[in-house]
Amino acid sequence: MTSVELRGLALGRQPAFVGTSLADSVEAMLEGAARVLEAGADCVELRVDKLGSIDAVEDLVSRIEAPHIVACRTPQFNGFFEGTEEERIDRLAAAARAGAAAVDVEFLAEAGPRDRLIAEARSAGVPVLIGYEKMQETPPVADLIRGMRELATLRPDLAKLAVRAQGPKDLVSVLQLAHEMETLLRVPYAAIALGPFGAPSRPLALALGASFTYCAVEAGGAPGQLTVEEARSVLETVSAERWSCSSS
C-alpha cells in the first residue's frame, strides 16, 4: 500500500483517527478543529457545508495548519449544503487551489462535476479522497466489491467506504470489505458502517487493514460513533501485532 502525506501525517503507515469540524463561520470551524485535535484525533475533516462563501473556504484553508481533509456534503450524503452541484464542486476546487491537504468527493456524485474536481485537485497537487457512500443501506458484498473496482478506475489517492448497517449482517459485510479493500485499491482507506450496529466497524476495520477511521470528538454524538479514545482502546486490544497504536 502507498502512503499519503497530509501536513506531516502519513496515512497508510499507522492507524489514524479523524474527527469532524462543522460550523457556519471560519472562526467556529477553527475552534472545532482545535477541539478535534484536543480529543486525540490525528486529522480533521473540515466540513464546509455551512460556510457562506468560497472566500470563507479559502480563508479557512489558508489558516489551518493541522492535517485535514476538506469535504462538502449535501443532504443526499448526510450534509447541509443546499446549493447546486456545480457550486459545491466549486467550493472543493477552491479549497484545492488554496492548498488544502486533501479534498473529499463522493464516487456516487454526478460524474461530470466530480471528475472536474479530481482533475483540478490533481493539477494543484492535492490528494483526492473518493468515497463510496450509501447512507441508508449496506448493499450486498458483491455490489460493494464491484463498486470498489469501479472507484479504483478513478485512481484515488485515498478511499472510503461508508454505508449504513441495519443489522449484524451488514456489519460483517463492511468488515469483509475492510479486509479486501487493500487488494482492490492499494491506497490508504477507511471502511465504516453507520448507525448503532456499525459502531464496531470503526476500530475493527483498522485491525483488518484500513488506514484511518472517523470518530466523535466527545461521547453522546451520533448513534454508532465512538470517541477517539474508545476506538483507540479497542484497536490496541485486538491488533497489537499489526499496528503500533501509540498516539501520533
- What's the mean pLDDT when you consider all of the chain? 94
Query: In angstroms, rounded to a whole number, what is the distance separating the alpha carbons of residues 124 and 161?
Result: 25
pLDDT tens by residue, 200-214: 999 999 999 999 999
SS3 assignment, position 71:
strand
Residue with the three cell numbers 472566500: 55
User: For residue 217, which amino acid is it?
Assistant: V
Angle at 40 between CA 245 and CA 58, to 5 degrees: 120
pLDDT at 72 over 50: yes
DSSP 51-63: -S-HHHHHHHHHH
Position 240 scores a pLDDT of 59
Position 242 scores a pLDDT of 56
Position 5 scores a pLDDT of 97
Query: In angstroms, rounded to a whole number, what is the distance separating the alpha carbons of residues 223 and 170?
Result: 16
**Contact of 15 with 212, CB cutoff 8 Å:** yes
pLDDT at 230 over 80: yes
In 83-211, DSSP assigns E strands to 103-106, 128-134, 158-164, 189-194
Other CB atoms within 10 Å distance of the CB of residue 183: 10
pLDDT at 247 over 50: no
- Residue spans per domain, the chain: 15-126, 131-209+219-237
**Contact of 119 with 144, CB cutoff 8 Å:** no
Q: What is the rounded average pLDDT of the residues 209-227?
A: 86
**Contact of 238 with 245, CB cutoff 8 Å:** no
Position 138 scores a pLDDT of 97
pLDDT tens by residue, 19-56: 999 999 999 999 999 999 999 999 999 999 999 999 99
- Check if 15-126 and 131-209+219-237 are the same fold: yes
SS3 assignment, position 158:
strand
pLDDT tens by residue, 110-163: 999 999 999 999 999 999 999 999 999 999 999 999 999 999 999 999 999 999
Question: What architecture (CATH level 2) is domain 15-126?
Answer: Alpha-Beta Barrel (3.20)
pTM above threshold 0.85: yes
Q: What is the rounded average pLDDT of the residues 70-87?
A: 96
Phi-psi region of 40 (alpha: psi -120 to 50; beta: other; left: phi over 0): left
Q: How is domain 131-209+219-237 classified at the CATH fold level? A: TIM Barrel (3.20.20)
**Chain centre to alpha carbon of residue 122:** 18
